[in-house]
Structure 1
Amino acid sequence: MGTHWRYLDTPPALPGLFMQAALRRKVHGTHLPDQGLRCWVSVDPDKVKAFANVCGFIPGSLLPPTYPHVLAFALQMKLLTDKDFPFPLLGLVHLQNRISIRRPLGSVIKAQVSVRLADLKPHAKGATFSLITQIDDALGLLWEEESTMLCRGVQIAGEPDGTYEPAPLPMSELATWYAPSDIGRQYAKVSGDYNPIHLSASSAKLFGFPTAIAHGMWIKSRALAALDDHLPASNVDISVTFQKPVRLPGEVTLSASTAGSHGQLRLEGKEGIVHMVGSWQPAGE
């Protein structure tokens, strides 16, 4: 079944969406809606610069490779708090994220954002689905993202997919950085993502975490900033799997294979705790 698109004149306001997310705490179905959302958004250079500063990117003529996620965040929230979406937004776990940069992210002033849901599948801990985002400019598809989300405790028919791990490449340590206790609040200010598990120890404890944890997309962004010279600027897919969360404050070390069209990365904390693994390759390969 194809996606039925709903077009919005302006991006939705986030405060009301966070209120809806806070009020919905139960699963009320096991089918994804076939409605997607589309809206034109403008790119604010000051907001891009603020995002780059928080995530470690050097400001330049190109958008940071993860910034389109921020452009789409309000539409993603709107889709995931809609009455037809069956799962509570708070409590979803971001397992994996893939972005595909089709063309250089330069001179982007206005773009059309499209978000939809797909691929509901059984998982050992519940069910997963894909949140798919596309960014188009006047020339067509510019950037695409697939976020794999887990809803714990949901039971659907079928067997979970097996896991595939590529053969590891030799890696060397590239960078070590410290994630301060307020990085969740810093990232929320530039992204709009005010999930309470990232903001403070007290708010994170309400959801079962002993302390605040870093945003997954901040972790990915910070790693890509450190890998700027390693990666192609376009025609590249960058995939990561989030493993153990980064508790705040904390120190992490990024390792990666050599620069090139293909490669792998790993982010570790103290005592070898693996927080994130990933890879990059030509788009669509």
Structure 2
Amino acid sequence: MITDWHTLNREPSLPGLYARAATRRKITGTTLPDSGLRCWVDVDPKRLAAYRKVCGFADNGLLPPTYPHILGFALQMQLLTTRDFPFPLLGLIHLSNRIRLLRPMGGVNRARVSVQVQNLQPHAKGATFDLLTTLDDQLGPLWEAQSRMLCRGVKLEGEPLEENLVTNLDMNEVEHWKAPSDIGRQYAKVSGDYNPIHLSAASARLFGFPTAIAHGLWNKARTLAALAGHLPVANVEIAVQFKKPVRLPSEVTLLASEPGASGDFQLVGVGELEHMVGHWRPVA
């Protein structure tokens, strides 16, 4: 697919995009737009420091491996609330996330973010698509991500494809932490992601959840912060599949294989409830 790229002069304003998202509640089609958005963004040191604190990353001079998601969030919001995007943003479910660190992300003060959607596929509960985000600096590609999203209720022809991320290495406990009741609000402040299902029990109940749940990307970020000594800083792909949501408040345990070029990890809750599985591998 050839993408029709639109370059913005500045990052979109999130309040207006949330207002637009709140008024879009219906499925309007089954074709993804072939346009993408690009914009140069600056890394705000204060926001970066706040993100490190909420997610547990040490300041080692590198951007945290999940931080480009924050740099691209406003562009993603704009793309997913355009008139030709067929699905309502509120209610989309994040099934999996895969990031590739192509080079060490040190000294990155300004970068170009690009976002697009593609790969619409039937699913047993509706349809999935991939939200692609890339980060480039003056030297070229630096980081890229693929987030697989589910929209319930979409009807597409074809056989649903099952995606299961397999972990096969021996794992041991690495760390145990609490996900407090306000972590959704803390993460929203540093990420801009104010999805109601993460903010409070009252707002989550409006969307069918008995209590607020942690952001999937906070779970991944907190996990990668704990695995900093296990992972390479570049030429690595880190994939996760989100399982049962982390209800707030909760306590979780991170299991992982030994440090190295490749490895597996798992985030579990009380009673070995599986919240997230993942692995890291060298970029192919």
TM-score of the superposed pair, with normalisation by structure 2 = 0.99
Give the length in aligned residue pairs.
284
Partner of 1:150, secondary structure, is strand
1:98–1:165 CA distance, 2 compared to 1 (3 A): closer
Match of 1:79 in 2: 79
Q: Compute the RMSD of aligned alpha carbons.
A: 0.8
- 1:136 is displaced (CA, Å) by 0.2
1:242 aligns with 2:232: no
Map of 2:188 onto structure 1: 188
**Contact 2:126/2:152 (8 A) holds in 1:** yes
Please give the alpha-carbon distance, in whole angstroms, between the structure 1 residues aligned to 2:28 and 2:216.
Answer: 27
What CA distance in whole angstroms lies between the structure 1 residues aligned with 2:30 and 2:5?
21
What is the correspondence of 1:1-285 to structure 2 with a 5 Å cutoff? 1-166=1-166, 168-283=168-283, 285=284
Question: 1-side partners of 2:163 and 2:79: how far apart?
Answer: 28
The one-letter code sitting in structure 2 at the alignment partner of 1:207 is F
Tell me the CA shift for residue 163 of structure 1: 3.7
* Partner SS state of residue 254, structure 2: strand
Q: What does the per-residue CA deviation read over 1:45-82, in whole Å, with 9 as the maximum and x for residues that have no partner?
A: 11111000000001121011100000000000000000
Aligned amino acid, residue 28 of structure 2: H
Cα distance in 1 for partners of 2:108, 2:23 equals 36
Structure 1 stretches of 4+ moved >2 Å: 162-167
Could you list the runs of 5+ residues in structure 2 that have no partner in the other structure? none
Query: Deviation string for 1:187-231 (max 9, x for gaps)?
Result: 000000000000000000000000000000000000000000000
Q: Percent identity?
A: 62
Give the letter for the 1:122 counterpart: P
* Cα distance between partner residues in 2 of 1:91 and 1:118: 19
Amino acid in structure 1 at the alignment position of 2:84: D
Task: Measure the CA separation in 2 of the matches of 1:59 and 1:197.
Answer: 30
Write the letter of the residue equivalent to 1:34: D
Distance 2:242 2:229 in 1: 23
Return the letter of the residue paired with 2:168: P
CA separation in 1, counterparts of 2:163 and 2:241?
Answer: 12
- SS of 1:239's partner is strand
The residue type equivalent to 2:174 in the other structure is: L
> Structure 2: how far apart are the matches of 1:117 and 1:157?
19
Measure how far apart 1:157 and its partner are.
1.3
